[in-house]
Every structure is written in structure tokens, then in C-alpha cells.
Amino acid sequence: MLAKTSLSGSRVRLTSWMPQDLPALAHWYQQSDFLRLLDAQPAYPYSEAFLGQWLEERQKSNHAFIFAVRAVSSNEPAVTAPNDMLLGYVELDGILWNHQVSWISIAIGEEHWGHGYGFEAMQLALTFAFEELNLHRIQLTVFSYNDRAIALYEKLGFQREGIYREFVHRSGDRHDMYLYGLLRPEWKARFG
């Protein structure tokens, strides 16, 4: 489904995708470091045409919501991205409506790491998931070598629920993949 609601925070806002976003997305999907954090598939670059088709399919799905993460202009010195600049995306997908469960994933362009954009984008997406979609459980997987993401998810209240031991093979080494989950009552207790 195309996300029609625009969600705003103090530093980022979540919007629908625009055609002019594709070059930035394609740029990120050319970077192997970005791809190796995102999924277990080989770090293979994707074309702009492929990504455009992927976005179109996601936006038509009844089981997914994909948002562009954009900068909001601010007077804070820590905010470095110009207003409305595409910073990344956050997606709720694989939604099981009858069980009120969804997967969540986030990707922020490497040039925007370390500015707190991911935390606020995830807060907005989780609020949308729990309040607007009335979901009960949000889950995700993350590779054991992605320390930044693990810290983010735990700061948001996600609990590590399982380990897929030696799941991924990267650069000659095997790495675990962790399963994390967050329930609506846990979210409410933490963020009200």
C-alpha cells in the first residue's frame, strides 16, 4: 500500500516515495558496505530501473508500507541534511493482519549515519505501526556484526528473542543473525 500519511518528527519526516528519489536509492544500492548490512543476499548492485519496479510493487502491496525518510529543516547545529533531503527508508512488511504482526527494516544512507536520523525514523514508524495500523508485535533480524543497528533497536526497546547461529558468510567468516521483537505494551511503557 502507498503510505498516504506523512509522519513528522523534529528532525525527520516519513513520506511516500517520489520519482526523483530513485538516483539516491540507486547510489546506496551500489555500495557493498550498505548492502552487507541490509540483507543476507550477496552484495550485488541494483539498477535504478530494478529499484523503481521494486518500490512500485511494495507500494501496491496490502502487506507492506514503505516510507522515504526525509530531513526536516531545523535550527539545531547537529542537523546537517538540507530540508526534504532523502536520508533513507523504513519499511513495515510481511504484515500478518490476523495476528497483528509485522517485520520492520530501516536503511539510512551511509553519508547520514551517526546523526540520530534512524532513531527518530524508527520511532515514527513504530508509532504508525502500533497506533495507525493497530499492530501488536513488530519484529526484525540483524546481523551480529551490525553493532550500530543493534544499539538502535535495543534503545527503542526491542528484545533479543533468538539467534540464527552462523547464518551468514561474509569475507571468509560466519556470523550470527539475531531475531528481535517489540510488543505494543512494551512500546507504550517506554514511549507512552
Task: Report if residue 48 sits inside a domain.
Answer: yes
Query: What distances in angstroms separate CA 138 from CA 78, 131, 141, 177, 183, one per listed residue?
Result: 30, 12, 11, 17, 7
Indicate whether 1 belongs to any domain: no
pLDDT tens across the length of the chain (192 residues): 444 444 889 999 999 988 889 999 999 999 888 888 888 888 888 888 999 998 888 888 899 999 999 998 755 544 455 568 899 999 999 999 999 999 999 999 988 988 999 999 999 999 999 999 999 999 999 999 999 999 999 999 999 999 999 999 998 999 999 999 999 999 999 987
Domain around 154: 7-191
Q: Which residue has the cell 502487506?
A: 63
CATH number at residue 14: 3.40.630.30
As given in the structure block, the three cell numbers for residue 118 are 534512524
pTM (predicted TM-score) = 0.89
Q: Is residue 163 part of a domain?
A: yes
- Contact between 49 and 29 under an 8 Å Cβ cutoff? The reply is no
Per the domain annotation, does 2 fall within a domain?
Answer: no
Q: Answer yes or no: is 180 within a domain.
A: yes
Domain count, the chain: 1
